[in-house]
């Protein structure tokens, strides 16, 4: 079935593009940059080959889960948050000084100091700063600098799926514009920076859009099971609580790092009724649950997710008891991965503290995440809309074209 995967189709298209050395005249057309997220959605880039602007389209008519009006309302609801966007690092973080040469890793680490900023968004902001500080004099040099910076960020944590996917999407969206063929270098560099900032702005707003869409699935009196600490799931629950909805949350402990304890503390601050469970009590408590909402480290081509260890077994139990499993994930976590089983992933290891000495002859499983196949998931809440797992592969192709 590999020949039907998104990666196969994308690689085949790349080969066809390499064979076609003469671009068509109409492929050089580019729409003017949009001034808002709604403008970006309503004015997709008309480049037929590199139609990355599909990243900002909900395709609601295709997956028939949400309407375009519904998504537009969610986007409009967060449109007034311009003043909450992080400011440029040159002015806010003072990361670049005349005496110190620019480092994309240092810039990335400065952005990561903001607690509410996702790792992938921090990388996107850092890559935008590469364009701003570049001393390149040709487009080839600038693109080479961006590629080197992107590779450096991806190698910073090779196990981070969202970091790799975010860098790849940034490179495709920012650099794949045929407008540079007709502009002088300074104008082309300004266009690159403009597209980079727009991409970062939309990525930053993704969590708010998902929250507006996801909170509509929460109804009064429901009980929600969550697993691990996901900022986008927390944003959904926070939005629902602010909408005066009454619900309770069952929160797993989240071994080995006990992220569920942190999550339950955040819910308590919101005055949301929360009950903490040990991880092995999921099946015992599932009959109380109306829905499961989890985050994701990455969304893969099959429509499945890679997430914190224990997500797979929670989804198995929920499926057997006919409970819906919802996944909240930003579209910059959509990755060109196709795991075939639990071991077919880059290992992400984490030390486990059992509180007692473990004999050296005892082997300890230290994997920090597992893979949940799409048949155990109900819907995915994303900034592209509310998707069924079956259309994720199609969306992923659109993202990477």
Nearest Cα neighbor of 348 from 392, 309, 388, 300 is 309
Could you tell me which residues come within 8 angstroms of residue 10 by beta carbon, excluding any fewer than 6 positions away? Answer: 336, 397, 400, 401
The predicted pLDDT at position 179 comes to: 55
Residues in the chain: 401
Tell me the C-alpha distance between 141 and 134, whole Å. 9
How far is it, in rounded angstroms, from Cα 141 to Cα 181? 15
Report the pLDDT value the prediction gives residue 400, as an integer from 0 to 100. 65
Q: Parallel, antiparallel, or unpaired for β 274-277 and 222-226?
A: unpaired
C-alpha 254/C-alpha 294 separation (Å) is 12
Rounded Cα gap, residues 383 and 355, in angstroms: 41
Q: How far is it, in rounded angstroms, from Cα 206 to Cα 58?
A: 13
pLDDT, position 177: 63
CA–CA separation, 2 and 259 (whole Å): 35
pLDDT in tens, the chain (401 residues): 444 444 444 455 555 544 444 343 333 333 333 333 334 434 444 433 333 323 223 333 333 344 455 455 555 555 555 444 555 544 444 444 456 678 888 888 888 888 777 888 888 888 888 888 888 888 788 888 888 888 888 888 877 888 888 888 888 877 776 555 656 777 777 878 888 888 888 888 888 999 999 999 999 999 999 998 888 999 999 999 999 999 999 999 988 778 888 899 999 999 999 999 998 899 999 999 999 999 998 898 888 999 988 899 999 999 999 999 999 998 888 888 888 888 877 777 777 777 788 888 888 877 878 899 999 999 999 988 898 988 887 777 776 66
Residue with tokens 């592209």: 384
Would you state the pLDDT for residue 289?
A: 95
**Residue 391 confidence (pLDDT):** 84
Question: Residue 241's pLDDT is what?
Answer: 93
Burial tier of 363 (Cβ tally within 10 Å: 0-12, 13-18, 19+):
exposed
Question: Which residues partner with 386 through β-bridges?
Answer: 381
Q: What are phi and psi of 25, to 5 degrees?
A: -60, -40
Outline where 217-310 has alpha helix (H).
231-242, 259-269, 282-285
Other CB atoms closer than 10 Å to residue 390's CB: what's the count? 12
pLDDT of residue 63: 36
The tokens describing 315, both together, are 């989804």
305-308, strands of its sheet edge to edge: 298-299, 305-308, 369-372
Which tokens is 369 given? 């995440």
What is this structure's pTM? 0.71
Locus of tokens 């590999």: 2
**pLDDT at position 97, please?**
47
Residue 349 DSSP symbol: B
């Amino acid at each position: 079935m590999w020949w039907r995967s998104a990666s196969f189709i994308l690689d085949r298209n790349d080969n066809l593009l390499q064979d076609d050395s003469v671009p068509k005249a109409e492929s050089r057309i580019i729409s003017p940059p949009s001034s808002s997220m709604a403008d970006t959605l309503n004015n997709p880039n008309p480049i037929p080959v590199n139609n990355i602007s599909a990243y900002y389209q909900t395709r609601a008519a295709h997956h028939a889960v949400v309407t375009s009006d519904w998504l537009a309302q969610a986007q409009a609801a967060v449109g007034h948050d311009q003043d909450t966007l992080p400011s440029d690092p040159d002015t806010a973080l003072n990361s670049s000084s005349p005496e110190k040469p620019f480092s994309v890793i240092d810039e990335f680490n400065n952005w990561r100091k903001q607690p509410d900023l996702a790792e992938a968004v921090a990388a996107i902001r850092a890559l935008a700063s590469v364009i701003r500080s570049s001393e390149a004099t040709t487009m080839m040099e600038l693109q080479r600098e961006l590629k080197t910076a992107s590779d450096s960020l991806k190698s910073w944590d090779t196990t981070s799926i969202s970091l790799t996917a975010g860098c790849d999407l940034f490179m495709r969206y920012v650099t794949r514009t045929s407008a540079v063929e007709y502009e002088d270098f300074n104008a082309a560099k300004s266009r690159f920076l403009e597209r980079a900032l727009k991409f970062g702005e939309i990525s930053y707003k993704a969590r708010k859009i998902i929250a507006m869409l996801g909170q509509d699935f929460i109804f009064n009196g429901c009980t929600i099971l969550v697993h691990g600490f996901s900022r986008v799931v927390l944003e959904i629950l926070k939005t629902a609580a602010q909408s005066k909805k009454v619900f309770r949350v069952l929160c797993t402990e989240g071994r080995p790092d006990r992220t569920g304890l942190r999550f339950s503390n955040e819910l308590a601050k919101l005055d949301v009724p929360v009950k903490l469970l040990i991880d092995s009590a999921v099946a015992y408590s599932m009959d109380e649950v109306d829905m499961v909402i989890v985050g994701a480290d990455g969304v893969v081509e099959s429509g499945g997710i890679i997430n914190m260890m224990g997500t797979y077994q929670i989804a198995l139990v929920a499926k057997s008891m006919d409970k819906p499993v919802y996944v909240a994930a930003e579209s910059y976590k959509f990755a060109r991965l196709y795991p075939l089983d639990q071991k077919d992933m880059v290992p992400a290891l984490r030390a486990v503290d059992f509180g007692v000495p473990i004999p050296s002859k005892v082997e300890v499983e230290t994997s920090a995440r597992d893979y949940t196949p799409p048949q155990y998931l109900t819907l995915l809440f994303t900034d592209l809309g509310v998707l069924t797992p079956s259309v994720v592969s199609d969306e992923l192709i659109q993202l990477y074209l």
